[in-house]
Structure formats: structure tokens, C-alpha cells
Structure 1
Amino acid sequence: MKRRTKLNPRDAVGGRWEMGSKGQIELLQRYGLMPQHTVLDVGCGSLRGGLNIIKYLETGNYTGVDISEEILEAGREFLRGASLEGKRPNLFYTDNIEFKEVQGKTFDYLLAISVLTHMPPEDIETLFANLHKVMGDRSVFLATVFLSKTGSIYDTVMRRNFFYPYEWFRDMGARYGLTVERDEKGDAKQNLLVIRKQAAST
């Protein structure tokens, strides 16, 4: 990752920079994103999608977290190049998925593009177990995944892509008070999950 970042930060996060950038803001807007809303970008990388989101949102309403300080620094350079520093986005390095860096704050929208696709089962369970810390009753979490066609979990050795049955995500969500639905309009190469808190029983 470090070597790829030094060579070309745009390629280090999967390439297709312009397509990915435009697609993420359009996806959020399709689910109702407005400038006054807050966004938590999980695995924000070098801000491929973040730049357009930051530009659209009101000042201070974008937060991004990533496990690579090198990729985040590349994102800060792109931010300066786009003259968007005045929007004061919050960018945090993290070595966990427990949201310690944003403790006590909830977000209207959460986004994880090409993140869960690289996470083993135990990490996804940790993520789901901690989502209550950053999600309110009306929050929407949009996450792309690879869905298994065999009915079981498997991964590719070389690229470390993980494939899961949809039912696995649904059941994992229910375990932690979340509803998990599929959006059939997702990217042809990845599937889109829409995750919300379960409605409180009356």
C-alpha cells in the first residue's frame, strides 16, 4: 500500500478515480443527503469520493477515518489542491473499527465503499457491534460488499476479497439491532447494503 501510494495515490485506492468520486456523492444524494447532514466515511482513503462530498456539505460536516496514514496524507494533499481546506473536514487515522476517534458523535449518513469487501468475518462483526455508537435512529449506512454465489463465505487468496451470503449480513445485523437490506441498483461489480437501526418496539 505504501509503495502504491507513493507511485500514484489514485491507483492505491482502486483506480477509476473520477467514476468513484462522482458515484459516491450521487449515491448519498439518492438516499436523501442534504448539505446540512453529517457524513462519516469509513475507509475514506485519499478522498476519492470525499472531495465531492466535502464540497457539497456544510463546513465541518464531513468526517473520514482510515487505517493508512499515508493514504490520508495523500487525501490532505488532494484537499489542498481542490482548495477545500476551508470546509474543515475531520480526517482521522485509526487502528481499530470501534470509532474511538469520533466517540460521542452520531452521523446522518455513513459510507463504506470497497471496505467490507476486504474485511474478514470477525472484523465485520466488530464493526456491526460498534455501529450503535455512531448511528442515530434515522441514520443510514451505505456499504458495498461482494455477495457469495455459493451460499458460504469464501475469499480470494491473492487480493483478499471476501464474499458473504446476504443472509449472513442480515443475521449479523439482527444480532446487533440493525436491519440490513439490499439495494439492487448497486454497482455491477459490488452489491450495496443499506443498514439502519432497528425501530424501537412500542
Structure 2
Amino acid sequence: MLNSQSSVPEIIIPDELLPPKDLRLSVGGSFKAIGTEFFRYFIELGGLQPDEAVLDVGCGVGRMAVPLTQYLSDRGSYEGFDIVEPGITWCQSVISPRYPNFQFQRADLYNQYYNPTGQEQANTYRFPYSDHSFDFVFLTSVFTHILPEGIENYLREIFRVLKPGGRALITAFLLNKESLSCLETGMSTLELTEIFENYRLADKTFPESAVAYEECFFITLAEQVGLKVNFPVYYGSWCGREDFLSVQDILLMSKG
């Protein structure tokens, strides 16, 4: 559980930083509630400081970026990339002019649903940033939609762009004794019926819709690229467990 005496500053999100309703609905869930929830995790779990350089992998329509505009100082910076063009365009036209230290890029990555004409693949994609660029990297609802080869590549890229001592906060669906028991007893609303070595899918014809990984396999991949997994793992409610922090499982990692 998080500290009940939180040191996270209270923030107020300006109305002009709320995307149009259609863009908010396109990412699911509450724009404000989920954004401010993870804002708290970035600080309390990840130790994010106002003057640090931040990378948001899969930034969507700026749900995580908007709260950070009220926290990062002029000495801090934010970079985000995503594959969905309308969301990136909105962020570039609304957030960046008001906060020049917040920048957004579109990545032309293939995704069966979001970008079926994408020219690049997750398993070979190189993040468009130099080595050792960021103090803090986060990925929310990204690794739940990427297959194993892409996961390994993204972990390697996270390690590359992190500064020594940098941290990463990553969400995932992790398969372990507890979550598998919940799945087998029908407690989860997420059906992962397609079983492969080290991972499961909700739909074999649409593999990116939902992917869950064996926890040991996922942690081993991270360690093999040089990342240190900082325990405990903060398990989520996705599988139907009663004791949880968020919806997805949250892992913290660090570099050197």
C-alpha cells in the first residue's frame, strides 16, 4: 500500500488541457482520474522530481502528460511518443505551445487496430532519442498490447535511453500463482484463453488486444537487458484479486 500521509502535491488540471470528448473516450477510462492516479505513482513509487527528464512511451492523448505539466519545472522535460495520429496532433497543438518543455512525436508502428498501415515493428523499433537521455521512463497500458519480441526490444530500448541511476515504471498483466488461480476460477473479467509458452492472449486473431506474461519470464527479460527489478511488484485487480493497488500490475526498474 502507498503511504497514507502522501507528499504528492495537489494539482488542478486546467480545463483547456482536457482533450475533446471523442479523444478521451478513445483511450478508455477517466482521463482525469487515471492521469492523477499515475501522477501519484510516479512520485511515490518512482521518486520523480520536478527537474528530471521524463519519457512517456505510448503517450496517447496526453493523459499522463497533463498532470505533469503542473509538476515539472522549467528545468525538467517531457517527451512522449505514440502511434495514434489524432492524439499526438492534439498534444502538439495544445500542450506543447503552452509548455515548450513538453514534446510529442508520432511513431509509425504497426498495430492491427490502431495503426494497421504502420511501417515499423515493435520488435525492431528504435526509440527516437539518444542514449542516456532520461531520468524516468514510464509505460502504462503498453506492455499489455505487445508480443514477446517487442517486449524484449522495448526493455532494451528503455535501458539504452535511461541515464545511469534512472528509473522505469511499467504496467503489465503478470501470470503468477495468484493470478492464474483467479483466472482458473473465473474471477477475472479478462479471458486469456489462448495459451503459449510464457504468455497468454485474449484473442489469437487480434493478439495485440490483451497479452499477459509469466512473471518470472517478464522479470528475466528485464534483467537480461541490464535492468534491475525493484521489488515489491504492486499487483493489480485485473485478474479479480481482492488486494491490489491499481488495475494493472506495476513494476519498478532501475539502471545501474
TM-score with structure 2 setting the length: 0.67
Map of 2:214 onto structure 1: 165
- Which structure 2 residues correspond to residues 1-202 of structure 1 after superposition, within 5 A? 8-30=22-44, 31-59=46-74, 61-79=77-95, 85-95=98-108, 97-99=125-127, 101-148=128-175, 149-150=179-180, 152-157=198-203, 160-181=209-230, 182-184=232-234, 187-197=245-255, 199=256
Q: Give the fraction of aligned pairs with identical amino acids, expressed as a percent.
A: 26
Could you say if the C-alpha distance between residues 69 and 53 of structure 1 is closer, same or farther in structure 2, counting changes exceeding 3 Å?
same
User: Per-residue deviation at 1:188?
Assistant: 3.5
Amino acid of the residue matched to residue 253 of structure 2? I
Contact map agreement 2:174 2:249 (CA 8 A) in 1:
yes
Cα distance change, pair 164–61 in 1 and its aligned pair in 2 (3 A): same
Change (3 A) 1:189 1:174: same
Preserved CA contact (<8 Å) 1:54 1:87: no
Task: Tell me which structure has the larger Cα radius of gyration.
Answer: 2
Query: Helix, strand or coil: the match of 2:173?
Result: strand
Segments of structure 2 that go 5 or more residues without pairing to the other structure are 1-18, 109-121, 181-196, 237-244
Residue 102 of structure 1: SS of its match in structure 2? coil
Q: In 1, are the aligned partners of 2:58 and 2:81 still within 8 Å (CA)?
A: yes
Equivalent pairs counted in the alignment come to 190
TM-score w.r.t. structure 1 length?
0.83
The root-mean-square deviation of aligned C-alpha atoms, in Å, is: 2.4
155-164 vs 70-79, which moves further: 70-79
CA distance in 2, matches of 1:70, 1:115: 18
Q: Name whichever structure is richer in helix by fraction.
A: 1
1:94-122 residue CA offsets vs partner (Å, 9 max, x unmatched):
235421x2224521111111111111111
Measured after TM superposition, the shift of residue 48 of structure 1 is: 0.8
